[in-house]
Amino acid sequence: MFPVIRTPRISVIFLIRICLASLLVWYLFCLWVPVGNGSVVKDISFPPGKSVRTLATELKTKGIIRSSWHFMVVSRLRGQANRLKAGDYRLNSAMTPGYILHKVATGDVDFRRFALPEGYSIYQAAELLEQKGYFPKERFLERCRDTALLTSLGIPASSVEGYLFPATYDLPLNSTEEQLIRMMVSCFKKNVVGQQGGLIRHDLVTLASMIEKEAVSAEEKPLISSVFHNRLRIGMPLQSDPTAVYGVRAFAGKVTKADILRPSPYNTYLNRGLPAGPIGNPGAEALKAALTPATTDYLYFVARQDGTHQFSRTLAEHNRAVTRFLR
C-alpha cells in the first residue's frame, strides 16, 4: 500500500485575510497611483446634474485615469459619488484618482487669472487677452460694442469703455467674453454709484479716464483733476494729449502735431468740453479724484522728466515750464 499524503488545510480565515489584503492593495493602487507623469493636461468641464459615470468616462477617454470603472467604485467607497461639484477643472495624468476626487468633491475649480491695469483701454485689454490666449481680440471688442449687452448693463454709451474696472479676475476656464465683461462692469458698479457731485456718471467716468491717462503718481490725480475742472468751468478747451490718440494707438506720453490736428470726437484739442466718452478704464483713485478735485487755480500742467508734473496758473508760467522741462 502506498502511504497517504496529507495536504495541509488552508483555513477559511486565512483565505479571507488574503482576499481582504488584496482588496486593500487594489483599493490603494486605484486611489493613489497616477496614470502618468503629468505630460497629459486636460481642461475638464463638469456640468451641473451630471453623474460620476460621466466624469469617469471623460477622464478615461482623455488619459487622466486608468479605469473609469475603478474610479466609480472608489468614488462610491469614499462616499463622494453624489457630492461632486460642477465646474471647470484643469487636470493632468500625474494627479492620483484620490486627489482628483477630492478636488471635484470640494469644488476646487481652476481659473484663468486676468489683471486689467488702471487706464487700459478696451483695445489694450483686447490685445492682452489675446496674448494670454483667452479670447481673440476682435471678438472681445465686438462684445464690448454689443448694443444689447450695453443696454442690459445700463451703460449709456457705444461701448463699455470706462466701465471695465481695473482689478484681478479669476475666469472659469470655459468663460465667454460676455461673462468677463459682466464681471468687470459689476465690479465697477460697486465702486461708483449713479449721480456723483453734479456730474452724471458717464461724464464722471470720462473725466476719470483722462486723469488716469495723464497721471503717473497717485498724489497728482486730484491736482490734474482740478485743472480739468477749472477749464470746464470757464469753457477753456481741455487739450489733453491722450484724447488726441484714442482709438489710434496707446498713449505713450507724447503726441505729434498730426495727432493734435486729427479730427475725432475724442480730441479735446479740436473740441471743447469732455471727449465723446471715456478713453480708458479708470481705477478707484482716478474716479475719486474726478469726483473730488483738489482746490487750486491751476489751468496748466506739463510733464517733468521724473514722471511728475509742473502745474501753472498762467500761460506765461506754463510756457516757462515747457521751456524748462521739454525744450
What confidence score (pLDDT) does residue 27 get? 65
Give the β-pairing of 300-303 and 168-172.
unpaired
Residue 125 sits in which domain range?
112-191
Domain count, the chain: 3
Residue where one domain finishes, among candidates 109, 129, 158? 109
The reply to whether 156 and 225 lie within a common domain is no
The Cα–Cα gap between 258 and 180 comes to 36
Q: Is residue 8 part of a domain?
A: no
The reply to whether 316 and 216 lie within a common domain is yes
Q: How far is CA 240 from CA 237, 248, 293, 302, in A?
A: 9, 15, 17, 11
What confidence score (pLDDT) does residue 18 get? 77
270 band by pLDDT with thresholds 50, 70 and 90: very high
Residue where one domain finishes, among candidates 52, 86, 109? 109
Could you report the per-residue pLDDT of 79-116, keeping only the tens digit for each? 999 999 988 888 998 998 889 999 999 998 888 889 99
What confidence score (pLDDT) does residue 3 get? 59
Could you report the per-residue pLDDT of 223-238, keeping only the tens digit for each? 999 999 999 999 999 9
Nearest to 87, CA basis, from 134, 41, 45: 45
Q: How far is CA 98 from CA 8, 25, 72, 164, in A?
A: 41, 14, 11, 40
Question: In this model, does residue 325 exceed pLDDT 90?
Answer: no
Residues 6+ apart with CB under 8 A from 242: 210, 213, 214, 251, 279, 280
The reply to whether 96 and 117 lie within a common domain is no
The reply to whether 216 and 285 lie within a common domain is yes
Q: Is residue 81 part of a domain?
A: yes
With residue 300 as reference, give the H or E element that holds it: strand 300-303
Could you report the per-residue pLDDT of 174-218, keeping only the tens digit for each? 889 999 999 999 999 887 754 455 567 889 999 999 999 999 889
Could you report the per-residue pLDDT of 50-73, keeping only the tens digit for each? 899 999 999 999 999 988 988 998
Q: How far is CA 312 from CA 155, 243, 315, 318, 321, in A?
A: 36, 21, 8, 5, 8
5 band by pLDDT with thresholds 50, 70 and 90: low
Q: Is residue 197 part of a domain?
A: no
Amino acid at 293: P
Nearest to 221, CA basis, from 134, 119, 70: 119
What's 37's domain CATH number?
A: 3.30.1490.480
Average pLDDT, the chain: 88
